[in-house]
Amino acid sequence: MRLEVLPLAGKTSTEIAVVIDVLRATSTMVTALANGCPAIIPAADPDEARALAVAGGYLLGGERGGLPLPGFDLGNSPREYTPKTVAGRKVVLTTTNGTRALLLAASPVVLVASFLNLPAAAGWLARRKGDVLISCAGTDGGFSLEDFACAGMLLDMIAKAGNSLELGDGAVAARAVYRQWEGRIPDLLKSTGHGRRLDRLGLGADLEFCARVGRYAVVPQFSHGEVVAGDPDAGAGR
C-alpha cells in the first residue's frame, strides 16, 4: 500500500483519496452524518449553495472567514449539527477550505476524515491495498498544521494495524509531525493559527469538540455530488 499526503488541497487521481479539514468542515460533515443527516451536498460558493438548497428544500450551512453566512440555517460548527436539527434532512454546505478540497478530489473513492472518525477511517483503509492520497484542506490557501498532523495520525493507525506501507515524502513528514503532538491533540488545535482565530471569534468550544479522537464510527464518502455515510465500497465511482 502506497500512501502520500498533500499538504495543500489539490486534484487527486489515486484509487482512494481522503480529504481532511479538521477545523472544521470534515469534522462537521462527520458529525452531521453520525447524527442522522442522510447526505451533505458540498457547494463551491454561497450563491450555488443557496440555489441548491432552494431547489431541493434542503438545510443551508456554511461559513466564510469562520463566521456563519447571513440567511443560512447553520454555520460550520459541528456542535450545531445535532440529531434534532439534521436527522432526516439533507444539508448543502459551503466553507472557506473544506468543501473546496472535496470538490477538487477526483479519485474513484473519496473519503472524509477528521479526528472524530479517524479510527474508523483507518480501519477501512487498512483493509485495502490500493494507493491512497490524503488531501489536507489547509487554511485560506496556506498550510494547516492540524490537517497535516491528522493525516499523520491516520498513517500511524494504518501502520499499527500491521500493514506494510510505502510512504511518500509528504506522508513521512506528516507522521513525524503527528508524533510531536501524540496524546496532545487538544493542545495542538489550540496552538494553530486557525485554532487561535476561531477562539478569538468565540468558537473555542469547537476546538475541544474537534479534538475528540474516535467519537464517531462513520466513514463518509463523497460520491455523485453528495457526502454520505454508506459503505464506500458500495458507492465507488464519481
The number of angstroms, rounded, from the C-alpha of 223 to the middle of its chain's C-alpha atoms is 15
Residue 237: which pLDDT band, with cuts at 50, 70 and 90? Answer: very low
Q: Domains of the chain (ranges plus CATH)?
A: 2-228 (3.90.1560.10)
pLDDT at 163: 79
Residues 80-131: tens digit of each pLDDT? 999 999 999 999 999 999 999 999 999 999 999 999 999 999 999 999 988 9
> How do residues 200-220 score in pLDDT, each as one tens digit?
999 999 999 999 999 999 999
State the Cα–Cα distance between residues 80 and 60, nearest whole angstrom: 12
pLDDT digits (tens, 9 = 90+) for 49-83: 999 999 999 999 999 999 999 999 999 999 999 99
Question: Which pLDDT band, with edges at 50, 70 and 90, does 233 fall under?
Answer: low
pLDDT tens, 6-27? 999 999 999 999 999 999 999 9
The strand pairing partners of 42, in sequence order, are 93
- Phi and psi at 143, nearest 5°, equal -65, 145
Residue 127 in grid coordinates: 483493509
Q: Indicate the range of 68-72, 122-126, 143-147, 158-162 predicted with least confidence.
A: 158-162
Does the pTM exceed 0.85?
yes
C-alpha cell at 76: 460550520
Confidence at 225, pLDDT banded by 50, 70, 90: very high
Q: Starting at the edge strand that comes first in sequence, how are the strands of the sheet with 226-228 ordered?
A: 67-68, 59-64, 91-94, 40-42, 226-228, 221-223, 109-113, 16-20, 132-136, 2-6, 166-167
215: which DSSP letter? S
